[in-house]
Amino acid sequence: MTGIAVLEDVNAVAGVETLEGDIGPLLRAARGGAHFIRMHPGMYLEEHAHETESLIYTVSGRWVLCSGGERRVMPAGSLFWFGDNVPTGYELPFDEDAYLLIFKPGERPSDDEFVEYLTGMAAELVDQQASGTAFSFDALPDDHPARVFARTLEGNNLGEDGGE
C-alpha cells in the first residue's frame, strides 16, 4: 500500500540494551517518528531534559515518572507529553518490565543511524555509571526520594521493610 507503513508487532522489534533500558526504532514518518524503550525492574534514571517534546504511551507494565521532584505512577494505558527542554526521569520499583512507545516530532534518523547512536550512548552510560551516576535503585541511598516514594507503593520490589 502506497504511503503506509505497518509494523505488525512492536514487541518483536530488537533494540539496543543500555543502562536506560532496551531501546530501538519503530517507525519513521515525514514529520516525526516513534521508538520504544523497555525498562527493567529496579532501573532508575534521574531527571534530564531533551531538546524536543515527546508523547509517551505506556503499553505494558507500570513505572514512576519524576519531574520537578514530583512523582506519579504511570500504569499501562497512560499517555503523557513533555515539552521542549523539560526535565523528566523514571523509576521502576516494580517487579515487571515497563514497555513504552515514544513519539517525537521532526526529522528522525534512519534505523541504522539510530541503532548506531544507541550503541554509542550505551557505552557513554557505562562510563557515567563508573563515574558514580546511579542507574538503579541499588545505587541510591536509602533516604533518596525515589526510594522513599517507592516504599509507599503497593507491589514495590524493595522488600517488606523497604530495603533490598
Predicted pLDDT of residue 155: 78
Judge whether 59 and 38 are in contact, CB under 8 Å.
no
Has residue 162 been placed in a domain? no
Predicted pLDDT of residue 74: 98
Has residue 103 been placed in a domain? yes
Predicted pLDDT of residue 107: 87
Could you give the number of structural domains in the chain?
1
Predicted pLDDT of residue 154: 84
Identity (one letter) of the amino acid at 80? F
Predicted pLDDT of residue 22: 97
Predicted pLDDT of residue 159: 57
- Average pLDDT, integer, range 27-42: 95
Has residue 1 been placed in a domain? no
Predicted pLDDT of residue 162: 44
* Three-state DSSP state, 1: coil
Give the residue carrying C-alpha cell 517487579: 95
* DSSP letters for 98-161: EEEEEEEES----HHHHHHHHHHHHHHHHHHHHTT---BGGGS-TTSHHHHHHHTSTTBSS-TT
- Average pLDDT, integer, range 26-52: 95
Has residue 8 been placed in a domain? no
Per-residue pLDDT tens digits for 59-94: 999 999 999 999 999 999 999 999 999 999 999 999
Has residue 164 been placed in a domain? no
Which CATH number belongs to the domain containing residue 90 in this structure?
2.60.120.10
Has residue 145 been placed in a domain? yes
- Average pLDDT, integer, range 137-141: 95
pLDDT at 24 over 60: yes
What is the pLDDT of the chain when averaged over all its residues?
Answer: 93
Residue-range definition of the domain harbouring residue 97: 13-151
Cα gap 32→163, rounded to integer Å: 42
